[in-house]
DNA sequence: CGACAATTTGATCTGTCTCAACTATGGTGG
DNA sequence: CCACCATAGTTGAGACAGATCAAATTGTCG
């Protein structure tokens, strides 16, 4: 098997958390030409309304997808970590129905749609993994609708924390009980449909209950069982392969 | 071209609202074996946690997907009309992360996953259409997150009405300004994250403003421009082919 | 016509928002 | 290395959108 770059390795690692790949699939992915680019915090990577000819892979940093609503309110619809393919849908839906933005300084790799299509056509494992990736994307959205639509503030915020923790742990980006979550309270508010003030008070409550602790960007899970309980969090909707749930 | 059953025609019609199909694609779809079944109102068609080996096509009736949340609250995550493929994701995500239920008496056709996979492998047009269908599913979820997360009750409910109207019109299920929307106010509440009482008062306000009129299940759009305006509705997220937006 | 489901109305309560100020924190340049 | 500034977090007070509970009314369909 040919040598695999650090960049390609992150993409492959991500796909392997949801679907098995054989050596052939991996080398096909490792051969994808990447166009690297760095974005500063709060910069848009792709904007709603644009027509995309490339999809991107997050290499470093923290990214979100969002939609603007009348009255200038922002709804964040997903968070993304290194390895994620946050705009795979652009393969078939040319014009973006939402924007993609860097939350921290972010290194991104753009991959031409053509190249992805060729890899998909020649390697059924790649096709299966990308299909699954796109469908899990949808599954996570369903859970977010339920989160924002039905859960009280405490559960809503706890749920976002649980999801980030489990997904980052699957990618090897989180230790046993602590991880770096560089989100501001305002951003958590935009993801949960709550005001930053209320996010603040609610997170104080999570700390008061001894569920989490926060020092800077480092979030520690103090009581994982109880946190999942108050979050109403069950990770099945992430459709991770069992060995990556831990 | 071979004769096409009414049932297959609905599926084909639906896919043609989002992607072009050639005669070959159409006959491949028309050849899919269907297992017909009728469900009564409020019956589950597939339940969360189940393992699916078939996907289904709605032939008649009104269907929703939903998730239950702690405290026994229900969040409806999508509505589906005749022609829709509401659980296409089960092709790659074997275990259901949500339930599928009939809202009215509903006739459904089950199609074996195998049969779909064979059609997809042999016909690139079918593959493209189903891929697009799955990705649009995701796009609609994103819009719902924003709807439930950021919009006030009046816009939230108006938005659901706009979406149903446009999607049903694309399928030929709505006249110019009126259509059958057999949803109870409680169901609209479960879709928008509002109580049935508040849905009631808010829909009275929509009528008072002269935006819609309701007689039984028949909903009439009295001022389409203004309704879209108050709903903050822009149909681009549905990714319909232009000739089906009208 | 009777019965059950759906809608409507009234009254009260509460979670969350808004506005506004104040306090940490971290990064930058002098 | 410190002073400064911007950004993020925290606190308080008041307002309000929407929830809840309960009852009455209106369909609707066998």
Query: SS in 3 state form for chain B?
Result: CCCCCHHHHHHHHHHHCCCCCCHHHHHHHHCCCCEEEEECCCCEEECCCCECCEEEEEEECCEEEEEEECCCEEEEEEEECCCCCCCHHHHCCCECCCEEEECCCEEEEEEEHHHHHHHHHHCHHHHHHHHHHHHHHHHHHHHHHHHHHHCCHHHHHHHHHHHHHHHHHHCCCECCCEEECCCCHHHHHHHHCCCHHHHHHHHHHHHHCCCEEEECCEEEECCHHHHHHHHCCCHHHHCCCHHHCC
Q: Over range B11-21, report the average pLDDT.
A: 97
Asked if pLDDT for residue B1 goes beyond 70, the answer is no
Calpha distance B222→B213 (Å, rounded): 7
Closest CA in chain A for residue B92 = A132
Q: Do residues A129 and A19 lie in contact, with contact meaning Cβ atoms separated by under 8 Å?
A: yes
**Does residue B9 belong to the interface with chain A, where contact is any CB pair within 8 Å?**
no
> Are β-strands A73-80 and A63-69 bridged in parallel, bridged antiparallel, or unpaired?
antiparallel
CA atoms within 13 A on the CB side of A241: 15
Asked if pLDDT for residue B118 goes beyond 80, the answer is yes
* pLDDT digits (tens), chain A, 246 positions: 568 999 999 999 999 999 999 999 999 999 999 999 999 999 999 999 999 999 999 999 999 999 999 989 999 999 999 999 999 999 999 899 999 999 999 999 999 999 999 999 999 999 999 999 999 999 999 999 999 999 999 999 999 999 999 999 999 999 889 999 999 999 999 999 999 999 999 999 999 999 999 999 999 999 999 999 999 999 999 999 999 987
pTM over 0.85: yes
Q: Do B89 and A139 touch (CB under 8 A)?
A: yes
How high is the pLDDT of residue B163?
Answer: 98
Calculate the alpha carbon distances from A199 to A67, A179, A203, A204 in Å. Answer: 20, 20, 6, 9
Asked if pLDDT for residue B50 goes beyond 60, the answer is yes
3-state secondary structure of A195: coil
Residues whose CB is less than 8 angstroms from the CB of residue A215 and which lie 6 or more positions away in sequence, other chains included: none
Q: Do A193 and B143 touch (CB under 8 A)?
A: no
The pair of structure tokens assigned to A161 is: 């924390």
**Which residues of chain A does B136 touch, with a Cβ-Cβ cutoff of 8 Å?**
93
Domain ranges of chain B: 6-137, 151-244
Calpha distance B62→B173 (Å, rounded): 12
How high is the pLDDT of residue A2?
Answer: 64
| CATH topology identical between B6-137 and B151-244 | no
Residues whose CB is less than 8 angstroms from the CB of residue A78 and which lie 6 or more positions away in sequence, other chains included: A64, A65, A86, A137, A140, A141, A144
**Does residue B245 belong to the interface with chain A, where contact is any CB pair within 8 Å?**
no
Q: Which of residues 210-229 of A touch strand C (CB under 7 A)?
A: 216
* Residue corresponding to tokens 């005749």: B82
Closest residue to D28 by CA to C1' distance? Answer: B216
What share of chain B has pLDDT > 70, as a percent? 99
Instruction: Give the relative orientation of helices A23-30 and A124-150 as an angle to the nearest 10 degrees.
Output: 80
Asked if pLDDT for residue B2 goes beyond 70, the answer is no
Calpha distance A45→A233 (Å, rounded): 30
Task: For domain A6-137, give the CATH number.
Answer: 2.60.120.10
How close, in Å, is residue A112 to chain B by CA atoms?
A: 18
Does residue B148 lie within 7 Å of nucleic acid chain D, judged by its CB?
A: no
For B129-177, the pLDDT digits (tens) are 999 999 999 999 999 999 999 999 999 999 999 999 999 999 999 988 9
> Are β-strands B54-60 and B44-46 bridged in parallel, bridged antiparallel, or unpaired?
unpaired
Task: For domain A151-244, give the CATH number.
Answer: 1.10.10.10
The pair of structure tokens assigned to B147 is: 């709807």
| Exposure b/e, B74-107, CB count within 10 A at least 16 = b | bbbbbbbbbbbbbbbbbbbbeebbbbbbbbbebb
The pair of structure tokens assigned to A46 is: 């792709």
A3: nearest Cα among A113, A12, A60:
A12
B139: nearest Cα among B13, B18, B16, B14:
B18
How high is the pLDDT of residue A3?
Answer: 83
Does residue A193 lie within 7 Å of nucleic acid chain C, judged by its CB?
A: yes
């Amino acid at each position: 098997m040919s040598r695999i770059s650090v960049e390609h390795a992150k993409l492959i690692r991500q796909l392997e958390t949801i679907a098995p790949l054989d050596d052939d699939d991996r080398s096909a992915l490792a051969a994808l030409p990447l166009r690297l680019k760095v974005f500063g915090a709060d910069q848009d990577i792709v904007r709603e309304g644009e027509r995309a000819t490339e999809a991107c892979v997050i290499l470093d940093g923290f990214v979100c997808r969002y939609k603007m609503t009348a009255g200038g309110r922002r709804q964040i619809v997903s968070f993304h970590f290194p390895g994620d393919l946050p705009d795979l849908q652009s393969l078939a839906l040319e014009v973006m129905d939402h924007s993609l933005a860097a939350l921290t300084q972010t290194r991104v790799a753009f991959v031409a749609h053509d190249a992805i299509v060729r890899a998909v056509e020649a390697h059924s494992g790649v096709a299966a993994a990308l299909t699954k990736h796109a469908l899990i994307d949808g599954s996570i959205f369903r859970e977010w609708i339920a989160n924002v639509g039905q859960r009280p503030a405490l559960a809503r915020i706890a749920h976002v924390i649980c999801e980030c923790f489990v997904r980052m742990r699957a990618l090897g980006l989180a230790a046993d009980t602590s991880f770096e979550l560089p989100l501001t309270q305002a951003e958590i508010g935009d993801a949960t449909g709550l005001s930053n003030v209320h996010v603040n008070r609610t997170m104080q409550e999570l700390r008061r209950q001894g569920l989490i602790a926060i020092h800077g960007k480092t979030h520690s899970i103090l009581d994982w069982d109880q946190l999942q309980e108050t979050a109403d969090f069950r990770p099945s909707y992430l459709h991770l392969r069992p060995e990556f749930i831990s």
